[in-house]
Every structure is written in structure tokens, then in C-alpha cells.
Amino acid sequence: MKIRADLHVHSCLSPCGSLRLSPREIARRARAAGLDAIALTDHNTALQVPAVARCCRDEGLICVPGIEAHTSEEIHVLCFFDHEATALAFGKEVYDRLPPVVCVPEKMGDQVAANEAGEIVETVERFLANATGWTLTELVERVNALGGLAAPAHVDRPSSGLLGRLGFVPPLPFPVLEVSPRYDRERDPEGLAPTYRLIAGSDAHEPEDIGRVSEAIEVAERSARGILDALRRGVATPS
């Protein structure tokens, strides 16, 4: 069956994410946008995954547990998992590799986790938008060892995109690459399409952005595992 997924969504826990992106609001917006699935990909943390996943289930949606991890080269990588527990465990490893810089909300943004009722249940101390101590190679190895899937995010973006930072795609096991919404996939100016399957997500930092960009994905099973299996097979097709 074919499903529609926005595989790059932030919550109120990301310092640059709107405080309106509560778990319930994310799920409602995703459903209203006609999506079947989202991936929650906050910067360097998975703490908001359980509440968002519960709200998604209430709306009949799949939530792929994820993290947008930052490498030591300042490359953003979407890390997808098929179990919440694995994402949470990986999230702890990621957090432990962040520099001990304390987030000052007035200057750096709020880093709050909310429950299903929209109540703040946790404030995260370390600034989440910093680079971890992991190199790209180390990060990809760790994600794969945990059974996850690593997809470099918005590769064409000059800052924090793989091509912008390195100028090339290194020979690592990437089943898919994420391009930014403004990348012209028809013209494919970076020549990626012959070698890599490309996906795009909204990179929503405001509720209104959720589902603005999505992928049609042919899945054998309506679950996070089904989506990961489909991405590994490279059957994502342009919207």
C-alpha cells in the first residue's frame, strides 16, 4: 500500500521549534494535512518521541521515532528507528556527546518536552543545536549497529548539509538522502538521483509547515518498521 509521510518534523523540544508544536498539535496537524505518517526528528534528542507517538496513535498515524543528529563536521543526519526504546537509548548517547553548554532560553530558544495534555514535563539543559563529538562515519556506524537508518538531511543546504559541508557524498551506507524542499529533483543539479534515492520532508519548525512537503512511500506494513524497510529498499517516490 502507498502511504504519505513527512519524515522531518520538529517539536517544541527543538530550540528553534515553535512552542506551539506540542505532541497533540503535531498529530492533529499531520492528520489534517492528509498524512499517514511522520518522523519526529528533534535536534539531538528523542525525549519527545513517546508523547508524540501516543498522540499519533490517537489520530491513526504512524510515528517513526527519530533524531536529527549533528556530527562533529556540523552535518545534520536524520536517524530513524523502528522502536521508541532504541531511539531513546540512542538519544541518550547523542546527548552525552554534546558539549556541556547550558541553553539560555532567552538567547538560544526553549527546550521543553510536553506531555499529551500540552503540559511541560521536562526542560533539557544542554543546548541541543550544537555538534556532537561523533564524526559522520562514527554516527552512521552507531545508527546501523542499533538497527536504525541514517539519512543525511537537506544535503544541498550550504550550512549543515552534507554537500555544503563536504562537497561530496562519502562512501557510507546511505539508502536514501534527504534534499531540501527547494532542491529541483527534476533537474537534479547535484547529479544525485542516478546513485541515490532522494526524499524530502518539511523540516517543520512551525505547525503550519507539517506536511507542506511529503513523500509517497510504498510499504508492505503500516508501521515504522514498514517505512524503514521501504526506505532501505529504495522505493520512495517523488510526491
Residues within the interface to Zn ion (CB under 5 A): 68, 76, 153, 203
Closest approach of Cβ 234 to Zn ion, in Å? 22
Shorter beta-carbon distance to Zn ion: residue 29 or 76: 76
CB-nearest residue to Zn ion: 76
Closest approach of Cβ 79 to Zn ion, in Å? 12
From CA 106, how far away is CA 26, in angstroms rounded? Answer: 24
Shorter beta-carbon distance to Zn ion: residue 68 or 82: 68
Shorter beta-carbon distance to Zn ion: residue 79 or 217: 79
Closest approach of Cβ 220 to Zn ion, in Å? 28
Which of 55, 47, 61, 67 lies closest to 25 in space, CA to CA? 55
Shorter beta-carbon distance to Zn ion: residue 156 or 203: 203
Q: Are 181 and 200 in contact (CB under 8 A)?
A: yes
Cα 138 off chain centre by = 18
Shorter beta-carbon distance to Zn ion: residue 64 or 219: 64
Which contiguous run of DSSP H or E holds residue 165?
Answer: helix 162-166
Shorter beta-carbon distance to Zn ion: residue 36 or 203: 203
Region for residue 62 given its phi and psi (left: phi exceeds 0; alpha: psi -120 to 50; beta: otherwise) = beta
Q: Are 218 and 1 in contact (CB under 8 A)?
A: yes
The beta-strand segments (E) located in the chain are 2-9, 37-43, 62-70, 76-80, 112-114, 120-123, 149-152, 176-178, 197-199, 215-218, 236-237
Closest approach of Cβ 204 to Zn ion, in Å? 8
Between the alpha carbon of residue 200 and those of residues 4, 27, 158, 208, 211, the distances in Å are 12, 19, 16, 17, 11
| 96: exposed, middle or buried (Cβ count in 10 Å: 0-12, 13-18, 19+) | exposed
Closest approach of Cβ 216 to Zn ion, in Å? 21
Closest approach of Cβ 9 to Zn ion, in Å? 8
Shorter beta-carbon distance to Zn ion: residue 52 or 219: 52
Written as nine digits, the cell of 216 is 509517497
Amino acid at 209: D
**22 — phi, psi (to 5°)?**
-75, 160
